[in-house]
Amino acid sequence: MKDYHFSAVLPQHARACIQEILRNYLVLKEEEISLYDAKNRFVAENYKAIHTSPSADVAAMDGYAVMAEETFDAYDTNPKYIENFKTVQTGESVENFNTVIPFEDVQVEDGKIKIFQSYYPRQNVRSQGEDIKEGEMIIKKGEILTFFDKVYLKAGGWLCVRVYKMPKVAFVPTGDELVDKIEEVGQLVEFNSVIFSELLSQYGFEITIFRPVANNLNVLKETLKKLIDEFDIVFVNAGSSKGDKDLTHEAIQSLGKVTVHGIAIKPGKPTVIGEINGKLVMGLPGFPVSMFFVLKEIFLRAFFDAYLLNPKEKSYFAVVERRIGSDVGAEEYIRVHVENKDGKNHARVLKRGASAISSLKRADGYIIVPVNVDVVEEGSLVEVKMI
């Protein structure tokens, strides 16, 4: 008789299993690419600024570079003529002067400039190294390149950057009911591939999405056998729990080894972690919200830790609007809408069902309720991880 019983390991154990499999075969390669192509990539080296910016004290306005001290006794009823000056454009070195008077503030008479006020030293001057100093750390090995990291790298003298080549991953949806467009009652649109692709492309994974595979053990096994040679990691979606048509566990077990079936998380419990020919194969739950959290909180966290990568994820703090109950025995991921009222962030819990993507669409983020916590009291301050 089929075993319908479901056990579950702690999330940290599941992550450790993923890391152990990965460490045995997957070394991240590196490549050097143009900064302009380095979208969502992790750098493979420390980067320090090669030059200082600005490289000298420069004018912040078009005008006349002068010594501020020569202007101190000038005011509107006591204008003063200055002979010692240099005409400068914005960004040009002020050389031996320390202040810039904008063109529009002076009158030029007989090769001298007539000024009507005093100026303080360094007025309208950008100091050497004000933005970037030679040798300053711009980005550390393992960090993801953000928008302004790249601007900073270019300003600091780098045109190309060494980044990690992320693994080639395959996404295989399973289920007879899945189609791209509904033509018959009972069919469902396959959209989990969009979640997979959007999420993993944020971190530069090389993603291939396959057409849905039928609920047939032999077909699934043949598919996995083929893909495991070509890809670094294979993800099978749906069929990961213990229904009669849930074949992921059996397919992986018969071709390799299953190390985890069931993780103490909610949603996302029916997850399979295994290996075929030494490579990681994961069975992700079919419900979209469950799949999202398994990828984000189990797979990606394990992956980033294994390769010392820092995705620079953002979170903020909010006050819980109403008491939240949670199951003891499962780490729970609760979607929240966050609103700022009277200068304070308030988190309101959204629908908790794992089948409805509307809760993810409306969510600003989610909070993590640890395995051993059953209540988060109203008014508690919680960390909201951004989606």
Report d(CA 358, CA 198) in Å as an integer: 16
Q: Does 266 bind ligand MOO (CB under 6 A)?
A: yes
Taking the complex as a whole, the smallest distance from the CB of residue 271 to ligand MOO amounts, in Å, to: 8
**What residue 97 binds from ligand MOO, ligand LQZAQKY5, none (CB within 5 to 8 A, per partner kind)?**
none
Taking the complex as a whole, the smallest distance from the CB of residue 345 to ligand LQZAQKY5 amounts, in Å, to: 30
**What residue 6 binds from ligand LQZAQKY5, ligand MOO, none (CB within 5 to 8 A, per partner kind)?**
ligand LQZAQKY5
Taking the complex as a whole, the smallest distance from the CB of residue 284 to ligand LQZAQKY5 amounts, in Å, to: 7
| Nearest position to ligand LQZAQKY5, beta carbon | 286
| Closer to ligand LQZAQKY5 by Cβ: residue 191 or 317 | 191
| Closer to ligand MOO by Cβ: residue 149 or 332 | 332
**What residue 150 binds from ligand LQZAQKY5, ligand MOO, none (CB within 5 to 8 A, per partner kind)?**
none
Q: Provide the binding-site residues for ligand LQZAQKY5, judged by CB under 6 A.
A: 6, 173, 175, 177-178, 188, 190-192, 237-243, 246, 267, 269-270, 285-288, 290, 354
| Closer to ligand LQZAQKY5 by Cβ: residue 158 or 171 | 171
Taking the complex as a whole, the smallest distance from the CB of residue 262 to ligand MOO amounts, in Å, to: 9
Residues that bind ligand MOO (CB under 6 A): 266-270, 285, 287, 290, 354
